């Protein structure tokens, strides 16, 4: 199941694991990504909390946790190759995986058609 936030994060949900990254739109707005800071494995994340940072040649912005959970894995590849966020934001450019602790929060996220409508 693929969901989106108004802050341009995407969430892929399989069972009780969520994979999180930024959308194609977000990376286009940023321009060339030059640095990514990720949350630490084991961190407990609250929905809406700033948990990662993306810096580009244009700007820096926070990535927010779309739902609550515990970080189980981070994408080490984007630390060394931040350009993956640009070239494959919804694939190899993912940020972190988390064990979902509040499954009801998923209902507050948008599906793809609602997200596209947000973009206009």
**Residuewise pLDDT in 10s, the chain (120 residues):** 999 999 999 999 999 999 999 999 999 999 999 999 999 999 999 999 999 999 999 889 999 999 999 999 999 999 999 999 999 999 999 999 999 999 999 999 999 999 999 999
**In terms of C-beta density within 10 A (0-12 exposed, 13-18 middle, 19 or more buried), how is residue 59 classed?**
exposed
State the pTM of this model: 0.96
Euclidean distance between CA atoms 36 and 17, whole angstroms = 22
Euclidean distance between CA atoms 14 and 27, whole angstroms = 24
For domain 2-101, the CATH architecture is Beta Barrel (2.40)
């Amino acid at each position: 199941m693929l969901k989106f936030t108004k802050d341009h994060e995407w969430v892929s949900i399989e069972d009780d694991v969520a994979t999180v990254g930024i959308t194609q739109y977000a990376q286009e707005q940023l321009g060339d990504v030059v640095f990514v800071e990720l949350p630490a494995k084991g961190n407990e994340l609250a929905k809406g909390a700033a948990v990662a940072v993306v810096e580009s040649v244009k700007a820096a912005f926070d990535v927010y946790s779309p739902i609550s959970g515990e970080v189980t894995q981070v994408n080490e590849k984007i630390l060394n190759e931040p350009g993956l966020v640009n070239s494959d934001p919804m694939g190899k450019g993912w940020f972190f995986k988390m064990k979902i602790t509040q499954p009801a929060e998923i209902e507050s996220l948008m599906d793809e058609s609602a997200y596209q409508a947000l973009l206009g």
